[in-house]
Chain A
Amino acid sequence: DTAVSQTPKYLVTQMGNDKSIKCEQNLGHDTMYWYKQDSKKFLKIMFSYNNKELIINETVPNRFSPKSPDKAHLNLHINSLELGDSAVYFCASSQGGGLETQYFGPGTRLLVL
């Protein structure tokens, strides 16, 4: 009964490919997030959705497109993958946005070759 799940856990792909990472939460939360943890270990927010609507979009290239089919899912599609996209991507959710406690998924380790 995982609260926030992500698939796949590992993703190895070639430069230029398009890939998607899926996220699902069964906590009944209204808000979902995507974070990127790069090689320098910073955990930085990319997007935040509240009830399927985009709330936060932090200077992320257009190649990254989040999609929220319903409030329990927030998928991340990445076009034309680049070497610098290699990172760990974490999905999270919270009841409401702002300072509510966020619950994180296990992460997706993306390696672009």
Chain B
Amino acid sequence: DQQVKQNSPSLSVQEGRISILNCDYTNSMFDYFLWYKKYPAEGPTFLISISSIKDKNEDGRFTVFLNKSAKHLSLHIVPSQPGDSAVYFCAAGTPGNTPLVFGKGTRLSVIA
């Protein structure tokens, strides 16, 4: 029962172009969404988040868009850089001490 789905296991993008990573969720109780980035042999690191009261949050080259009616969010990276090559995890949560639910991750390769 995957409550958070990242249907693309991998994505390749040329340096300088836009990377778009997608995430779908099924639980309408989720009201907070996060993206984590993971390099090989390291733990995930927090990248950007968005709460359900917003539909967009921007931080430098990273923008997360939330479409609540479609239960879909996406992470845009522009311009993409080789150092962005990593696995990106989408996660969703609800207030209180309920655990975050993570997707399987999408491996992004930015080609120079």
Q: Residues of A with Cβ closer than 8 Å to B?
A: 4, 33, 40-45, 48, 50, 55-56, 58, 90, 92, 97-99, 101-107
Identify whether the interface residues of B are mostly helix, strand, loop, or mixed.
Answer: loop
Measured between alpha carbons, how far is A101 from B41 in the docked complex, in Å? Answer: 20
Q: Contact check, B93 vs A98: say whether CB atoms are below 8 A apart.
A: yes
Contact of B44 with A43 in the complex, beta carbons under 8 Å:
yes
CB under 8 Å from chain A, chain B span 36-67: 36, 41-46, 49
Of B19-27, B77-85, B99-107, the one touching chain A: B99-107
C-alpha gap A97/B96 in the complex (Å) = 7
A56 close to B99 (CB less than 8 A): yes
Contact count band on B? 20 to 34
Asked if A106 and B93 make an inter-chain contact with CB atoms under 8 angstroms apart, the answer reads no
In the complex, are the beta carbons of B93 and A99 less than 8 A apart? yes
**Could you write out 6 A-B pairs with CB less than 8 Å apart?**
A58-B99, A90-B44, A99-B32, A103-B43, A103-B45, A103-B46
- B28 interfacial contact with A, CB 8 Å: no
B69 within 8 A of A: no
- New A-B contacts (4) at CB < 8 Å, excluding given A99-B93, A106-B41, A107-B41: A56-B97, A56-B98, A98-B97, A103-B43
| A43 B89 Cβ-Cβ under 8 A | yes
Closest 8 CB pairs between A and B?
A: A104-B43, A45-B99, A43-B102, A99-B32, A41-B104, A101-B46, A97-B97, A104-B44
Give the chain B neighbours of A41 by CB distance below 8 A: 104-105
Contacting pair B43 A4 (CB below 8 A)? yes
Minimum CB–CB distance from B15 to chain A (whole Å) comes to 26
Give the Cβ gap from A54 to chain B, nearest Cβ, in Å. Answer: 11
Specify which chain B residues have a CB less than 8 angstroms from the CB of A90 in the assembled complex: 43-44
Cα–Cα, bound, A90→B89 (Å): 14
* In the bound complex, CA of A105 to CA of B38 (Å): 11
**Chain B residue with Cβ nearest A46:** B99
Across the interface, name the chain A residue whose C-beta is closest to B102.
A43
Residues of A within 8 A of B102 (CB): 42-44
Q: Which residues of A contact B89 (CB under 8 A)?
A: 43
